[in-house]
Amino acid sequence: MAPDFSSVTLTDVTRTFGRRRALHRVSLHIRAGELVAIVGPNGAGKSTLLAVLSTLLQPTSGDIRYDGLSSATAGPALRARIGLLGHDLYLYPELSPAENLRFFAGLYRLDNVHERIAAALERADLADRRDDAVAGFSRGMRQRLALERALLHDPRLVLLDEPFTGLDDASARALRDRLAGLRAGGCLVVVITHDLDTVDGLADRALMLQKGRLMELLECQGSLRERYRAALADAPPPAAGRL
């Protein structure tokens, strides 16, 4: 039975790659029904943080707990409750949308596969292209499909890396509504984005990663973009990211 955790807690998580330190003593607590936006400049460690949260990467030091569970012991059962949309879309371009979703539905051993896929394609506005190869799709169409792939198994922890990339206005609005719905449904949602205006007002909290260090954007006043710029100006010097 898959565990249904209600919080994720990172304690002093550090992750290094050789001499480069991607995350430095990151501590974070995310509760059910909370949408957290993570912002920061390129190379700040945002995607590494997402990979650590998704159990794809093990921290070099520190601890991650999904309620009382750790990724080392819970393994597949824990992964069944995590949905990840990476910067790369994790889709097979030679396959059709329906075939991609069917493959992942099989891996997650989902029931009502036919209905789930039909609903997912409807939401992605790809029902009429269900049998075309994904290779012929635009970035926005792939992005919508990849989002449905990540959410197909109704995950508890939803991790999205730049989910607004390539989306037109209508699709971006639909995604905002979807994220709000996930939050209302008790999911733990983490969104990495550079699109500050889009997540402003949607996220419960905004966190900034700078050279692997995490800070809350609470102290600054004004819009998320203004707070982000102010925090960036006060950030520590570049040497902080090296061991």
Partner 1 sequence: MNFVQTVWLVVRKDVLVEARSREIVYTTLFFAVACVLVFAFGFVNEGRPVTDAAPGILWIAIAFSGTLALGRAFERERQNETLRALMIAPVDRPALYVGKLAGILLLLTVVEVIVVPLVALLFHAPLFSRPALLAALLAAGTTGFAAVGTLFAAMLVRARSRDVLLPVLLYPITIPVIIAGVRGTAALLQADVDVPMARAWLSMLVLFDVVFVTLALWTFEPLMTE
Question: Torsions phi, psi of 53, nearest 5?
Answer: -65, -30
Q: Which of 30, 36, 82, 157 touches partner 1 (CB under 8 A)?
A: 82
Candidates 26-34, 50-58, 178-186, 194-202; binding stretch for partner 1 (CB under 8 A): 50-58
Least distance to partner 1, CB of residue 168, Å: 23
Using the rule CB under 8 A, give the single segment among 71-79, 171-179, 198-206, 212-220 that binds partner 1: 71-79
Q: Which H or E run contains 94?
A: none
DSSP E strands in 97-200: the ranges are 157-161, 188-192
Give Cα separations from 114 to 99, 111, 228 (angstroms): 11, 9, 44
Helix axis angle, 113-123 relative to 97-107, nearest 10°? 130
Structural tokens at position 132 = 């075309």
Would you say 2 or 235 has its CB closer to partner 1?
2
Options 31, 63, 70, 92; binder of partner 1; rule CB under 8 A: 92
**Shortest Cβ 193–partner 1 spacing (Å):** 19
Question: CB-based contacts of 79: which residues, under 8 Å, 6+ apart?
Answer: 55
Binding-site member from 31, 68, 70, 106 for partner 1 (CB under 8 A): 106
Binding stretches for partner 1 (CB under 8 A): 2, 51, 54-58, 76-80, 82, 84, 86, 88-95, 99, 103-104, 106-109, 133, 149
